Structure 1
Amino acid sequence: MRSLYADHLLARLQENPHGKLHQRLLLVLQQAITEGIFPAETRLPASRDLAKELNVSRNTVLNAYEALLSEGYVTARTGSGTWVANMLPEFSPAPVQPSSKDVPRALPAHSLSTRGAELLGYANASPYQWGAFVPGAPDVTAFPHALLRKIEDRLQKSPDIEQLIYSNGGGCAQLRQALSEYLRVTRSVNAEVEQIIITEGIHQTVDLVAKVLADVNDTVWVEDPGYWGTRNILRCNGLRLHALPVDAEGIIPDVSAAPPPKMVFVTPSHQYPLGGLMSLSRRQQLLEMARRQRFWIIEDDYDSEFRFSQPPHPALQGLEDNAPVLYMGTFSKTLYPALRMGYLVVPKSLSHPLRTAAAELYRGGHLIKQRAIAEFIRGGHFAAHIRRMRLLYHQRRQFLLSLILRYLGNDFLPRYSHDAGLHLVLSLPDGCDDVAIATRALHKGVVVRALSQYYLSAQQERGLLLGYACIDEPKLFAAFMVLRECLRQEGIIGC
């Protein structure tokens, strides 16, 4: 027999049957907590029990509980479940007054656009951006902040007028010149100054190319598994996603697709999240298809600077003259994420249209900061910082791999290349519940991401993304021991 709590939640879910199930469940749980249906210090139903009573998957309930925990609605007590927090977050909606029909019980469905609701339904940005094992988090404490601040302070004393007004030329000319030289030497990218556009990171870059190069309902190919942020921006621009599987050589093109896509988004230097390096033959195949079928390749050069066992592989963009490739990168991993600075290298034919569109859409600025980064690069400080961090990250990566081998065994090592990047994928047995493991680890203060959540298709590998870049070896060891205990409690390993 269902509990009263389950009856209440089920009724609320049935009142609004539209939208993603996990997002609807999260909303009705938030409402139940703020309305006092679940009073403070009340234990929520066990995830397995609630999933059975609501006739939903346990992953759906676990995802909702994890979101409640991250937003401060609940607390987790080791060994005793999930409990409603004594103090709710400040942004919680006010409790509903049931006696008044004029007071809405929740945010009405029509308050959001279809596009907005879909964005929130797929939202996956984590509130945890630092610590073990947050993937993709660089060690921001190792950056020479004092040096960059010294450069900025000097520039701030007597800034040029051009650095204080709106930018419509694609960003700071000095930074574009410095990037032109740096990318040509280190990544074999063919990039003249006018082909480079400075953006505020990968998300803005993807939004720009989606708006300018594709129409609503156009099809784009994306990697599966792949980066959720790119997918969400493409969805918000009304594009249809066609998820293609990846193997050890990278994305597997759909040679029978008709009509062809408008764009293909790839991470050839370090496939995200699996870590593979796209082979030369696969790159050539993709370029040949793009020329023949007239679509654009969008190359996200993710983690290209941090390859440990061999020099970085040349970029896809530089393999051919006038290649149909738009190359995008960012300083988020090489410097620090809050800098919010990226760059896009476009074919010459797109240079003027995309620069104009960027100015029209985003009204570029931060020119003094861009000028400071240009001097940081031209002075050799950027390359020196990359060398230092490559050694540091390699050391931490090797330490984590040694822990996996010693305490878990060969079967848990990454299945794909693991000699690059800021994270690795801990392999798990097929059929296990990696979301449940990640949730259990989060309750114990260790942040990991479930690999299955990066897939669009039902063909999902199981694993955990372990970021190792931002913590030292003692903290890595302590977090790994916690994770190992979670694996034992989930029955993945023995005592």
Structure 2
Amino acid sequence: MRDLWLEHLQLRLPQRADALLGERLYGCIRQAILDGVFATGSRLPASRELAQGLGISRNTVTKVFDQLLVEGFLTARVGSGTFVADLDSAYPLRQPGGALPDAGSDAPTGLSRRGAALIEHASASVRQWGAFMPGVPDVRLFPHVRLQRRLAALSASAAPGMLSYPEQGGDPQLRRALANHLTLVRGVHCAPERILITEGLHQGIDLISRLLADPGDLAWLEEPGYWGIRRLLEINGLDTQPVAVDDEGMRPEEPFGRPPRLIFTTPSHHYPLGAVMSIQRRRQLLDLARRFDALIVEDDYDSEFRYSGSPIPSLQGLEPGAPVIYAGTFSKTIYPGLRIAYLVLPEALAEGFSSAYLDLHRGGHGLTQRALAEFIDSGEYARHVRRMRSVYGRRREQLSSLIDARFGTSLLPADARDRAGLHLVLQLPDAVDDVALARESAAQGVLVRPLSCYYAGETVRRGLMLGYASVDESEMCVPFERLAACIERAMAE
């Protein structure tokens, strides 16, 4: 048997001495055992004998044996030698003769029912940049160098705490900076202790659904509304009820039926249609939340980019102690890849949310959070937002002009022109398949989103969402002509 081991390894071990010789010997022995070339209990040559037979150092052989002993491929008996271990219990799916089945042939690849449903209804675009992808800012215009300088300076002198697991709730300096900014700019009632930093808004919504609702509880969602929130809630076992939106925002009306546990809304700039919730609706929603013992989740979507009139104050700041969780993100004002968002929680929930967040997600990016805090405190963040508001306003006007010149006001009526946000919504006839149209447009290299995908009920409106933020005015004409040709073909059918 020892001669067979030598013969087998001599044929498979390249005869050259280098730093990887031990790794190759380890691989040869390990693979021979996995392939069943040598049966359980087979005795290996002594380390000295094997080293002499292969013309390598005994130290190399000893290290390989030690590693295989640790991993359980070999066993050693004092005074008897080294033997192939019994792997049957460790590898119960071994085929007759000792070989393992081919990789993937019988691998357990079945998804759970929840996983299958999630994948079946996945809606995120594979491509996330280019004309006219909605919801994407121009990441090229952010002052990256200034933020990187702050990161470099912090890295050079970082205290151990900034490089360890995050503090409860996130970086304290960022929470203070956010509290000051939100109080001043958005009229939010908050203190640093009530702010929780999350890695993206989706993570915050997921935490809300886990901590504040049980499977089977009801959540109200705007109709139309962001499909991503609906997916998160449903995958966590919540029932969702679409609530229609009109020119004054979410429209809850009697009879209400089963009371909701959570109410999700974008009151300052409805996504995707752009309505601003009236003060009457805001008070009605707050009253309903108290009556139902529900919580409102206010997604302050694109509130920074308003091109006419004064900024719309937050729903959360309308009255002290409002039953509202205010949610925001830096994805549009800085860039999506930053993955920093935040929740402003009612005082009674803040400590519990922070504790649960550390258990479930841990969080991180302490240096980035601190650099962002300095960026806000210095005033650079506010200056960047003001600059981008001007840039996006010009791009909005350019895209509107192209639409008017090609289609008049038939697809973008004057009373439907959103004066905020990062996208426009073209209205299409009901007979036009906006999903197929978006697919054809993508084949031409132009990215748009079909409006019908944002409806959960049977009644839908057809349209296309065109993002203008990431496209310079000088670069709009060519992709718009391609899109316009696709629209004209679809409307002629």
Q: The TM-score by the shorter chain falls in which range?
A: 0.7 to 0.9
Q: Which residue does 2:466 correspond to in 1? A: 466
Q: Could you tell me how far 1:329 is from its partner in structure 2? A: 0.4
Instruction: Give structure 2 stretches of 5+ with no counterpart.
Output: 1-100
Q: Could you tell me how far 1:141 is from its partner in structure 2? A: 0.4
Q: Could you tell me how far 1:380 is from its partner in structure 2? A: 0.3
- For the 8 Å contact 2:425–2:465, the answer to whether it is kept is yes
Q: Could you tell me how far 1:229 is from its partner in structure 2? A: 1.0
Q: Which residue does 1:439 correspond to in 2? A: 439
- 2:181 maps to 1:182: yes
Question: Matched residue of 1:328: which SS?
Answer: strand
In structure 1, distance between residues paired with 2:197 and 2:295: 20
Matches within 5 A, 1:3-42: none
- For the 8 Å contact 1:168–1:355, the answer to whether it is kept is no
Question: Matched residue of 2:296: which SS?
Answer: strand
- 2:449 maps to 1:426: no
Q: Could you tell me how far 1:258 is from its partner in structure 2? A: 2.9
In structure 1, distance between residues paired with 2:253 and 2:218: 13
In structure 1, distance between residues paired with 2:291 and 2:150: 47
Q: Could you tell me how far 1:435 is from its partner in structure 2? A: 1.3
Instruction: Give structure 1 stretches of 5+ with no counterpart.
Output: 1-100
Matches within 5 A, 1:355-366: 355-366=354-365
- For the 8 Å contact 1:276–1:416, the answer to whether it is kept is no
Q: Which residue does 1:300 correspond to in 2? A: 299
TM-score (norm 1): 0.77
Relative to structure 2, which stretch is displaced further, 309-318 or 245-254? 245-254
Aligned-partner residue type, residue 282 of structure 2: R
Aligned-partner residue type, residue 424 of structure 2: L
Distance 1:175 1:431, change over 3 A: same
In structure 2, distance between residues paired with 1:164 and 1:234: 33
- For the 8 Å contact 1:139–1:470, the answer to whether it is kept is yes
Question: Matched residue of 1:364: which SS?
Answer: coil
Q: Which residue does 1:477 correspond to in 2? A: 477
Q: Could you tell me how far 1:417 is from its partner in structure 2? A: 4.9
Q: Which residue does 2:352 correspond to in 1? A: 353
Question: Matched residue of 1:299: which SS?
Answer: strand
Q: Which residue does 1:381 correspond to in 2? A: 380
Q: Which residue does 1:455 correspond to in 2? A: 455
Question: Matched residue of 2:333: which SS?
Answer: coil
- For the 8 Å contact 2:417–2:424, the answer to whether it is kept is no
In structure 1, distance between residues paired with 2:188 and 2:481: 43
Relative to structure 2, which stretch is displaced further, 478-487 or 207-216? 478-487
- For the 8 Å contact 2:172–2:192, the answer to whether it is kept is yes
- For the 8 Å contact 1:170–1:355, the answer to whether it is kept is yes
In structure 2, distance between residues paired with 1:121 and 1:223: 22
Distance 1:379 1:104, change over 3 A: closer
Q: Which residue does 2:17 correspond to in 1? A: none
Q: Could you tell me how far 1:254 is from its partner in structure 2? A: 4.1
Q: Could you tell me how far 1:106 is from its partner in structure 2? A: 10
Aligned-partner residue type, residue 374 of structure 2: E
In structure 2, distance between residues paired with 1:123 and 1:107: 24
Question: Matched residue of 1:411: which SS?
Answer: coil
Q: Which residue does 1:314 correspond to in 2? A: 313
Q: Could you tell me how far 1:213 is from its partner in structure 2? A: 0.2
In structure 2, distance between residues paired with 1:255 and 1:344: 30
Q: Could you tell me how far 1:112 is from its partner in structure 2? A: 1.1
Aligned-partner residue type, residue 481 of structure 1: E
Q: Which residue does 1:26 correspond to in 2? A: none
Which deviations, in whole Å up to 9, do the C-alpha atoms of 1:30-51 show, x marking residues without a partner?
xxxxxxxxxxxxxxxxxxxxxx
Question: Matched residue of 1:412: which SS?
Answer: coil
Distance 1:107 1:416, change over 3 A: farther
Which deviations, in whole Å up to 9, do the C-alpha atoms of 1:220-253 show, x marking residues without a partner?
0111111111111111111111111111111111
- For the 8 Å contact 1:277–1:417, the answer to whether it is kept is no
Q: Could you tell me how far 1:102 is from its partner in structure 2? A: 10
Aligned-partner residue type, residue 320 of structure 1: E
Distance 1:461 1:492, change over 3 A: farther
Distance 1:473 1:241, change over 3 A: same
Aligned-partner residue type, residue 442 of structure 1: A
Q: Could you tell me how far 1:300 is from its partner in structure 2? A: 0.4
Aligned-partner residue type, residue 194 of structure 2: Q
Structure whose alpha-carbon radius of gyration is higher? 2
Aligned-partner residue type, residue 159 of structure 1: A
In structure 2, distance between residues paired with 1:167 and 1:488: 53
In structure 2, distance between residues paired with 1:337 and 1:163: 23
Aligned-partner residue type, residue 472 of structure 2: D
- For the 8 Å contact 1:426–1:466, the answer to whether it is kept is yes
- For the 8 Å contact 2:450–2:462, the answer to whether it is kept is yes
In structure 1, distance between residues paired with 2:465 and 2:198: 28
Q: Could you tell me how far 1:257 is from its partner in structure 2? A: 2.0
Q: Could you tell me how far 1:430 is from its partner in structure 2? A: 2.3
Distance 1:329 1:294, change over 3 A: same
Q: Could you tell me how far 1:103 is from its partner in structure 2? A: 9.9
Q: Could you tell me how far 1:256 is from its partner in structure 2? A: 1.7
Relative to structure 2, which stretch is displaced further, 253-262 or 386-395? 253-262
Q: Could you tell me how far 1:416 is from its partner in structure 2? A: 3.6
In structure 2, distance between residues paired with 1:287 and 1:417: 28
Aligned-partner residue type, residue 154 of structure 1: A
- For the 8 Å contact 2:195–2:343, the answer to whether it is kept is yes
- For the 8 Å contact 1:298–1:328, the answer to whether it is kept is yes
In structure 1, distance between residues paired with 2:248 and 2:199: 30
In structure 2, distance between residues paired with 1:152 and 1:464: 40
Q: Could you tell me how far 1:467 is from its partner in structure 2? A: 0.4
Q: Could you tell me how far 1:255 is from its partner in structure 2? A: 3.1
Q: Which residue does 2:408 correspond to in 1? A: 409
- For the 8 Å contact 1:248–1:416, the answer to whether it is kept is no
In structure 2, distance between residues paired with 1:332 and 1:290: 29
Matches within 5 A, 1:192-271: 192-271=191-270
Distance 1:245 1:106, change over 3 A: farther
Q: Which residue does 1:31 correspond to in 2? A: none
Aligned-partner residue type, residue 465 of structure 2: L
In structure 2, distance between residues paired with 1:419 and 1:107: 53
Q: Which residue does 2:147 correspond to in 1? A: 148
In structure 1, distance between residues paired with 2:172 and 2:410: 50
Q: Could you tell me how far 1:311 is from its partner in structure 2? A: 2.0
In structure 1, distance between residues paired with 2:356 and 2:431: 46
In structure 2, distance between residues paired with 1:347 and 1:133: 38
Q: Which residue does 1:490 correspond to in 2? A: 490
- For the 8 Å contact 2:118–2:235, the answer to whether it is kept is yes
In structure 1, distance between residues paired with 2:196 and 2:253: 31
Relative to structure 2, which stretch is displaced further, 336-345 or 408-417? 408-417
Which deviations, in whole Å up to 9, do the C-alpha atoms of 1:120-156 show, x marking residues without a partner?
1111111111111100010000000000001111000
Aligned-partner residue type, residue 420 of structure 1: A
In structure 2, distance between residues paired with 1:153 and 1:203: 29
- For the 8 Å contact 1:151–1:372, the answer to whether it is kept is yes
TM-score (norm 2): 0.77
